[in-house]
Amino acid sequence: MKDFIITVALGLFVALATGVAFAGDHGRREGKEYDERAGQYESTIYGTVRSLPGGMIGVWNVNGREVNVTKATIVKEKHGKADVGAYVEVDGTLNGKMLNAHTVEVKRDGREERKILGTIETLAAGKDGKWIVNGEEILVSRDTVIKEKHGKAEVGAYVEVEGRRVDNTFSARKIEVKRGKR
């Protein structure tokens, strides 16, 4: 019985020591790393710039997240201009819901051809004009090719939109209905 108690106690000690060592590496959580010196979480996000102030210093909107860009932030524009529509990688520290950017790297600019997949929320009468697809404003012109093989282009239909963002407007080159209204 004495050997059994010693074995159990030794097993508990090893399990506890291993658990403490494992818990000591608590820094990584959902792509965020805790910086014990600064008392903040380091974070990296990827997304499309939806808005930014003139002169680039201030609060940017990247995929709905607030990103604070300061004079100390390094903005890398090797693959394109940091502007609305650009796809970026942002490294920084979280301060509440705000990400204070250390670096912003443009992965591709907003003038490249892009695809948007989503549901038509609103569309213009006669189809030419402004549509809303997955919360994004889309400009549809008479030059836009609309393919309706899998259903009609109407509110509720699931579509793939191809085009490019120029300034603050996404101009559709082609819209293909992937699934009709349900």
According to CATH, the topology of domain 34-108 is OB fold (Dihydrolipoamide Acetyltransferase, E2P) (2.40.50)
Model pLDDT, residue 4: 61
Residues 6+ positions from 143 with CB-CB distance below 8 Å: 173
Q: What are phi and psi of 60, to 5 degrees?
A: -100, 155
Mean pLDDT over each residue of the chain, to the nearest integer: 80
The radius of gyration of the chain from alpha carbons, rounded to an integer in Å, stands at: 25
Q: How much of the chain, in percent, has pLDDT values that exceed 70?
A: 75
Instruction: Return the domain boundaries, the chain.
Output: 34-108, 114-179
CATH number of 114-179: 2.40.50.320
What mean pLDDT comes out for the span 66-94? Answer: 92
Q: Is-same-fold flag (34-108; 114-179)?
A: yes
CA distance 180 to 20: 55
pTM value is: 0.47
Segment 114-173, tens digit of pLDDT: 888 889 999 988 888 999 998 888 999 989 999 999 999 999 999 999 988 766 678 899
For 47, counting Cβ atoms within 10 Å of its Cβ (0-12 exposed, 13-18 middle, 19+ buried), the class is middle
Classified as helix, coil or strand, 7 is helix
